[in-house]
Structure 1
Amino acid sequence: MGANISGAVVDGDEGGPPWRPKLGDIPESCAALVLAQLDPLEICKLAQLNRSFRSASSADFIWESKLPSNYRFIVEKVLGDTTLLNLPKKDLYARLCRPNHFDAGTKEIWLDKNTGGVCLSISSKALTITGIDDRRYWSHISTEESRYPTVAYLQQIWWFEVDGELEFQFPAGTYCLFFRLQLGKSLKRLGRRVCKPEHIHGWDIKPARFQLSTSDGQHAVFQCYLDNPGNWVLYHVGDFVVENPNALTKIKFSMTQIDCTHTKGGLCVDAALIYPSTVRKEVRSCS
Structure 2
Amino acid sequence: MRLSLDSTFYLGRTERKMAVKRCRTTTICCLPEDCLANVFALTTPKDVCRFSAVASTFRSAADSDGVWERFLPSDYRDIISRSIDGPDSLLRQVQSKKDLYLRLSDHPIIIDSGLKSFKLDKGSGKKCYMLPARDLYIVWGDKRRYWLWASHTKTSFSDVAQLRNVCWFEIVCSINTNMLSFDTNYAAYLVFKIKSGRYEFYNQPAEVCGGIKGLEVEKDSFYLENNTELLKLREDGWMEVELGEYFVKGGEDDTEMSLLEMKGLRSKSDLVIQGVEIRPKECT
Name the TM-score, length of structure 2 as normaliser. Answer: 0.71
- Supply the AA of the counterpart residue of 2:244: G
More helix by share: 2
Secondary structure of 2:113 counterpart = coil
* Cα pair distance change 1:93/1:259, threshold 3 Å: same
Provide the secondary structure at the position in 2 that maps to 1:65: helix
Q: Distance in 2 between matches of 1:248 and 1:95?
A: 30
Which stretch of the first structure deviates more once superposed, 205-214 or 48-57?
48-57
Which stretch shifts more, 22-31 or 206-215? 22-31
Letter in 2 for 1:121: M
Q: Does 1:200 align with 2:199?
A: yes
Any conservation in 1 of the 2:206–2:263 contact (CA below 8 Å)?
A: no
| Residues in 2 aligned to 1:260 and 1:37: alpha-carbon distance in whole angstroms | 51
1:268 matched to 2:265? The reply is: no
Q: Is the 8 A contact 1:70 1:171 kept in 2?
A: no
* Other structure's SS at 1:254 match: strand
Distance in 2 (CA, whole Å) between partners of 1:204 and 1:236 is 17
After superposition, the Cα gap between the structure-2 partners of 1:216 and 1:159, relative to the gap in structure 1 and judged at 3 Å, is closer
Q: In structure 1, what is the equivalent of residue 224 of structure 2? A: 226
From 41, 47, 51, the equivalent of 2:52 is 47
Inter-partner Cα distance in structure 2 for 1:165 and 1:63 = 31
Question: Of 204, 212, 215, which aligns to 1:214?
Answer: 212
User: Is 1:24–1:52's contact at 8 Å kept on the other side of the alignment?
Assistant: yes
Question: 5+ residue gaps in structure 1?
Answer: 9-19, 186-195, 283-287
TM-aligned CA distance change 1:69 to 1:277, over 3 Å = farther
Which residue in 2 is equivalent to 1:158? 167
Aligned with 1:180 (options 191, 195, 204): 191
Contact preservation (8 Å) 1:215, 1:250? yes
Deviations 1:138-178 (A, max 9, x none): 22344444454543221211222222222243222221112
Distance 1:216-1:34 versus aligned 2 partners, 3 A rule: farther
Note the C-alpha offset of 1:137: 2.2
The DSSP-based 3-state class of the residue aligned with 2:57 is helix
Hey, what's the Cα distance between the residues in 1 that align with 2:223 and 2:36?
53
**Residue matched to 2:254:** 250
Matched ranges for 1:23-102 at <5 A: 27-48=32-53, 52-71=57-76, 74-75=79-80, 81=87, 89-97=97-105, 98-102=107-111
C-alpha contact (below 8 Å) 1:69/1:171 kept by paired residues? no
1:261 to 1:35, Cα distance in 2 relative to 1, 3 A: closer
Q: Given the two structures, how large is their TM-score scaled by the length of structure 1?
A: 0.70
CA distance in 1, matches of 2:61, 2:252: 35
Aligned equivalent of 2:180: 170
Larger Cα-atom Rg: 1
SS of alignment partner, residue 175 of structure 1: strand
CA drift at 1:264: 1.7
| Contact 2:175/2:255, CA 8 A, preserved across alignment | yes
CA contact (8 A) 1:70 1:170 kept: no
Q: 1:249 & 1:58 partners in 2: Cα distance?
A: 37
String of CA shifts for 1:219-275, please: whole Å, max 9, x gaps: 22221121119964322221112222xx36412222222357422222222211111
Unaligned runs of 5+ in 2: 12-22
Instruction: State the percentage of identical aligned residues.
Output: 27
The 8 Å contact of residues 73 and 169 in structure 1, kept in 2 or not, is answered as no
